[in-house]
Each structure stands twice: as C-alpha cells, then as structure tokens.
Structure 1
Amino acid sequence: MKIQETVRKPMMEAKYLNVDNTDRYRPIIRLFYLQYEKLKYWLYQEEVYAELKEDPYFQDYTPEQCQQDLAALTAWGNLSTIQDTKKVSTIEEFKNKKFRYQLSEVCVEIERMMIRVENLFIESSSLEPTLLERICMNLRRIPEIARESQDNIYIWWNDLNNDFIRLNQNYQDYMRELNSVKAEEMMKTKEFLVFKDHLIEYLRNFVRSLQMNVSSIEQCLKEMDRGQLEGILTEVVQYELAIPRIDTEITEEMITDKINGRWDSLEEWFVGVDGRESEALKVFDTTNEIIRKITRYASRISERSNGGANRREEYRKLAVMFSKCRDIYEAHRLAASVFGIEKPLHLKGIPGRQTESINSGVFEEEPYVVTVTPRIRTYREKAMRSGIVDRSREKEEMRLAAIRRMEEERKLLKGYIRDGRLSFAGLPEIEPHVRDVFLSWLSKALENKELRGKTEDGQIYHLEQENPGETCILKSPDGNLEMPAYTIVFEEML
C-alpha cells in the first residue's frame, strides 16, 4: 500500500460533525442537502434563516448567528459562495456582499454517508439469490462483451461490480444481524418459534442458489480467455481516464490498480487463490451453521416448554395422591417412595461381592462383620503372640547357594583374564551379565584419581591405555558397545 499525501491530510469538511455548535451546523447542511436533492443548488442567507426559524428549536436563532455559521461552514470547505451582483444598485449594497451558498461535492458525499449511518438500524439487509444469477450471466457474456464498444464494456463492468458489492455487503450485514447479541437473545424466546420456519426456508433458498450458481461462476472464471479479459480491463481503464475531472489528479497506474484489484477480489471470492478456500465456500459453511444454530435453539425452546408441561401434570398427579393418604405416616411413606428417604442409612465396607447384579438386594449378600474399636488415643491393638521359628536350615542353604554362585562367576571371569590383564580390545563376544561386571570395574577405576579399584572379592587393579584415543567394540548378544580400548591390570591375583 502506497500512502499518498491526501490520506495523511486532515479532512476539514467533516469538522462540522463534532464541534461546539454542531446542533446548528448539521441542520444547515441537511437543509442544503435536501434542496440539492430537489435540484435547487444555490440558497441565500435569508432563505436558510427562514427555514430554520420554522423549527421550535431555533426560536432564539438570530440572523447574525446564521451569518456566522455560514461563514464557518464556508471556511471549512462545506459551502462554496458566490457574490450576487445582479440586483446591486448602490455601492453600499455591493459592500455588504450578498452571497449565494452551495454545498461542496465533498460535503454532499459526507451528508449521504450520514443519512446512511442514521438509517443503519432502520434499513434491514437481505440475501438476494438473484445477484448470483446476474453475476453468472455477466461472466458468461465476456466473449460477447470483448467485441462491444468501450461504452458498453464500461456499462457491463459497472453492472458486474455493483452486483458483487451488493452481494458481499448484504450478506455481511445480514449475517452480522443474525450473530448479534440481540438476535441471540431473541432466539431464546418462545416468540422465535413463530417465524423460525420462515427464516430457515429463507436461508435455505440462499444456500440452494449458492450451490447452483457458485460452481458455474467458478467454471467461467477458470475457463475464460485471459487475453479477452485483459483487453476488457484495458478498455475500462481507458474509459475512466477519459472522464473529465476538476481539481483531481488521477494517473493511469491508480486506475489500473483499482480495476485489477476489484477483479482479483471477485476471483478470490468465488475461486480462491494460492490454495486458500474461497469466500463462497465460507459463506456456504457460515449459512449452514446459522441454520443449525437456529434449529438447536428452537429444539431447546420446544423441549423446555414440553418438559414444563409434563412436569406440571406429574406434580398435579402427585398432589392428588398425597391428598388421598389416610394419615401423616402414610404420607411419609409415599414421600419416601417419590422423593427418597429423608435420613437414609448408608451401608459401607462390603468387600468382595459374589455378584455384580444391580438387582441384588442387601439381604441377599453374605453377612459382613465389623469390629468396633474404642475411640481413645491410648488404645492399642493386642499383638498376636507366637513362638520363635527356627530358620537356621533355610539360612544355611541360602548362604551355600550364594557361595556357589559367586564361585561360578569368579571362574567365569578369570577365564577372560590373561597374565593378570583384561584387555577390552581382545575380548570375544561375552554375555550381558559378564559385560556388566567388567564395566562396573572400569567405572570404579575411572572414578578414582589414581585409576585404581578393587573387585568384590578384594583384588586390586588399575587401568592402562596404550594408545589414548583408540577405541574398540565390546560385543554382546543384546548389542555392541563402542568404547575406549582400556586394559585392566590386576596387581595381585588371589
């Protein structure tokens, strides 16, 4: 986006909308605008003053105030003036400068916008399926339009853009109304059920029109001749350049950028670009979501209404049953059956049920005994006295088994030691538990500053590494380990 100087400048013509005397300026501008719509472009100060005095709000309004207001509006660019010299007969009358006033073009557009803003909540937006049909018809006419004159091309272009703008704006306004807080609150009331079906049918007609026309429009946009399209857009640019404009500098680059941007927006709305989802599909999903939301609200209202009616009948039947009770005790029993027991007895601590059936009663279960203990701090349960069992035989068997296991491991480990040296580089494939013993010896020595350690049976050893940086592969059935080529040297073999 290129920020031009006109965008950075303050807009003095809109100043009358929010100043101290806005209550006088806005009626004056509105009076000029209404006369402008009647093709009466010029007004005298006396005419303005006479029109304002007819309203009770301006009973204390003076001609001097009117002259000051007109001068302020003229200074801000809202009014343009011209001195009326036709009926001047004396020099004194010429000096008094009797002016005629006219709305400026900018102020006309501002006032049109203000009327639109004032009627924003009065004019209701709508969904017009015919706009989609007209857009589709105009796009199909591109091969025919490419051979038409420049005037007809520009008329076709304006019709296409106006339909697209109306479709987009009306849809956004209508969806904004349906998603507003006021609409949400209204959908929760019973009155919403009256026109719910009509609203859903209205939205479904729009969805059907989307389904029928969007695919045709998308096909037209994808299959059209790009050469014809560029020629048409060029003719539109040339036509707009040929329009005479006063006090406005319009370049060909600005018009081309505007025309191409409008066409890109049209394609993005119906086709999508760069793999993104088209706006038409989003419109389709949003409309369907609105229909689902309306249906959900209507269903909840119906359920709430029906549920209330059903409960009223149930309460009435219960009231009749209570009125037929013979005494208060029978009424208590009925209340216990209907609302539950007032003070129920909770049974807990029943472990290991024999059945998981929910129909099994309490009296059908096996009895469970609960030992009640005193609730005092000094209470201690009596210890169960028992004699000392002689387990010396089992201990001796466990000791002998441990000795045999250690002896077997010692013989196995000594089988890998040659001349008091255990070289990791020269080891064959070993079992995982043997590997763990060797690595534990290595870890103990590495943790010592002198690289010395002691095995479980008291053998002292130290580490050596002939070639620092050399590595070896320690193989085992569960995997291979790459490690430095250390050698464990035992100082004294037991």
Structure 2
Amino acid sequence: MKVYDKLLKPIKEVNYLRADNVDRYRLIIRYFFLEYEKIHYWIHKEEVYEEIRQIEGYQDYTLEQCQQDLQQLTQWQNLTASQDSNKVRTIDDFKNKKYRYQLSEYTVEIERMTLRLENLEIEGASLEPTLLERIYHQLTQVKDISQKENSDVNGWLNLLMNDFVRLNQNYQDYIKTLNSAKAEELMKTTEFLVYKDKIIMYLREFVMTMQNTGALISSLMRNIDENDLELIFQKATDYELSIPRIGRALKREDVYQNFKDKWLSLYYWFVGQDGYNEVDHLYDISNEIIRKMTRYAQQISEMINRGSHRKEQYIHIAEIFEKCQDINEAHCMSAYIFGVEDCLHLNYITPRLSEDIHMGVYQDHPSYIQFDPHSRIVRKKTVRKPAEDHTFERMEQQLMIEAEYAKQMEKIQELIVNNQIDFSSLPVIDANTRKTLLMWLSKALGQESLSSKTDDGRVYMIDKSEANQMCEVECIDGHFIMPKFKIIFKEKVHE
C-alpha cells in the first residue's frame, strides 16, 4: 500500500454528517447540492434561510442561526465563501459584507456518496474544449427539436445541460487554480516566465471565444419562442416519467421544474439578470488574471535585466583595474570611478575681502550661521500665507484656447464647399487642420451609421461611395495617400 500525506490526514469536510445540529447542516448541504445539480452554484444567505424556513419543524429557524451554520460549514471547508460586491451601492453595504456561498469539491463528492446510499442517481461532469460552439449549435436546433419525439427531445436537452455543466466547471476549476496560493507563489519566481505566454495566450483565446460566441448565444436565447421551450420541457418530462424505475417514483412537477430551472440557469449565465451575466464576470476575472500575470512577469524581467546589466558593469570595471600598473594608479582609478573616499566639505563660504593669498582668516570678516532650535518646546514660527488667486491666469489661458479654436474652425470653414469636405480636392492644409479632419473621419467610421457630431454640435456623415479610389492630400509637412472620402454635413453650413 502506498502511503502519502492525504491518506493520513483527517477529512474535516465530513464533520457535518456527525456534529451537533447535524439535521440543520445536512439540510443546508442538501439544498446546496440540489441547486448545484441545477447549475445554480452561488447561493446567498437569505436564500438558504427562506428554504429552511419552509421545511416543516423549522419555522422557528432564525437568520442569525443560518449565519452561524454557514460560518461553521465554511470553517469545515464544506462551503466556499466569496464576497459579493456587485450589488454594493453605499458605504454601509461595503462595510456590511455580503457573501455568497458555493459547495467545495470534497463536499460535492461526499454528498454524492450519501445520495448513492439513498439510491438516488447523480449526473456526472467532464471537461471539453469546444463547449461554447456546441452549445450554440444545439440552441440553433430548438425549433426543429421541439417537433421531434420525446426521446430525441430528452437526449438533446440532457446533452445541452451536460455541456453547460462542463463549461461552468471548466472555467471555475481553471480560474480557481490560477488564483490559488501556490500559483501566486509561482508567479513571483523566474520559472513562471516559462508558462506565462502560454497561459496568457490560452486565456485571451478563451475570452475572445467567450465574447464572440457568448454574444451569439445571448442573442439567440432572447429570440427563442416560449411555446417551443414549453413543448420541449413537456416532452422531456414525459420521457423521464416513461422510464421504468424500481423503488423510485418521480413526481411530474419536480421533473418539469428541474428542467425549467436548468434552462433558467443557462439563460441567466449568458443573458444575465439585472444587466449582469456570468460571461461578463468571467471576462473581468480573466482580464484581471492577465493583468496580474503581466505585472509579475514584468517585475521578474526587470529584476533579471537589472542584475545582468550590473554584472556586465562590474566585469568591465574589474578589467579596467586589472590593467593598472601599480596600487597608486588603482587608487586614482578608484577615486575616478567611485569618488573620493574622504573629502573636505566647506559650507557657508562668503566672498573674501581681498584676493591676497597671504591674508589670514583673522583679517577677514566673520560669517554668521543661524541654527534652528532642536527643542520640542521651542519651534520655528510659521508664517501663514493666503492662497494665491489664479483666476485671471486661468481666464487668460481659456481665452487663448478659445481664440486658437476659433481660428482653427475658420480654416476648416474655408474647406467646406457645397456643404461638404472632399479630401480629393483639398488645398494645402496645416498639421492641426489635418488632425481635426482625420479625427472627425475616425469618429464617424467607428459608428455603424457612419455619422457623428463635431465639437460645436454639427452632425455629419461619411460618404464612402468612392472609397475604392485613392487620393493624395497635400500638407505643409508632407503628403499622404488615403481613400477618397467625403465629409457631408446634414445641416447647411454657412460659408
């Protein structure tokens, strides 16, 4: 038998099965696990409290008891607590931290074991790299699937939910690994540079796929017909009830609600609720990890480069000293490179009365130095000065900026012919005019409507009908080639 550390350590996650108040702990864990099976992983304290209160015999269960039970289960590592800062609106909300809880991996497996002892079936989960594309492809078949047989509908729905479970577990496990203490320590070592590029590239590709495909899935789910969904749930429920099971009777409303809750979890994951979805949450987490990795890698590289530069400098200095003929020349070289070891510093030297080298210090005027007291009692008197008023300077600067802007607008006004600016027929323009025109062009091209507004509120649009042809714009500082665009103002411009 192979003996290792985990084999000899106690498993404190099983404490909730035999501790005092075991009934409350098991009810809480079972509720978390049932929600886990519905792909609803994160649960707030209030949800747990309301669920337990509905159970017969626990009507006197208080919110304080619920908080204590959740804290105890968190200490036993049955639950993982995460501060929920998404709904923070005030300082009091930030001080009174609100947590959401999730089952730990050990507890999931322990609860599965208890369910197997109770002859209940548990779904499995695995990891796939192309789950997003598969989910999107499966959702495009909703209309056709709703018209098929019950067995086909049930198989399609279970396959979709299994892919969703694996997707969620995949990203959670991976993000949890990158946020672990071991990974944090690795990121501060030089060995991390070997993995940095691969991990960042993997995360960026995953985030890009998540953004593109996630947006498609979100749009697709918003447009799914509710009647088709209802038909799918009913057919899947009929098929589940048609399967013969020994010693286990399923209730139709439970099976139907289970399918519906899973679909809602999928919907909220991609579409979101109250303007927030898990795709955006994953995007923020991934970007934060990328920034953290880049920052650590930059610090490690700077440390390595700084050490390598110093090493080269020391080697070069050592070679210089090696070429010295004797110790005196080495002393001179040391003073030249490192500075004089002991030198005399003269301060407060006043101009002399005479340049006579034979004049003594007693024949010169004395110099006076004022010392500030070092006593804590006697302190230097501070002179308070009123704050200076820079209103006039700011107004003057504002007028200069406005005059410069008006002058620039007059130059651009001269370029408007027939309520439009044609880049192919522009005269010689200066750098500031070119910069303004190109900024207008860039703002409008970035919009789907190809229109935008100038700083003074004039609406314009870009004419790209001749963009396949090139033109040459002559400027004071040079020439550049660009497509033949036109800036057309929607309202008549007074020329």
State whether TM-score is above 0.5.
Answer: no
**TM value normalised by structure 2:** 0.44
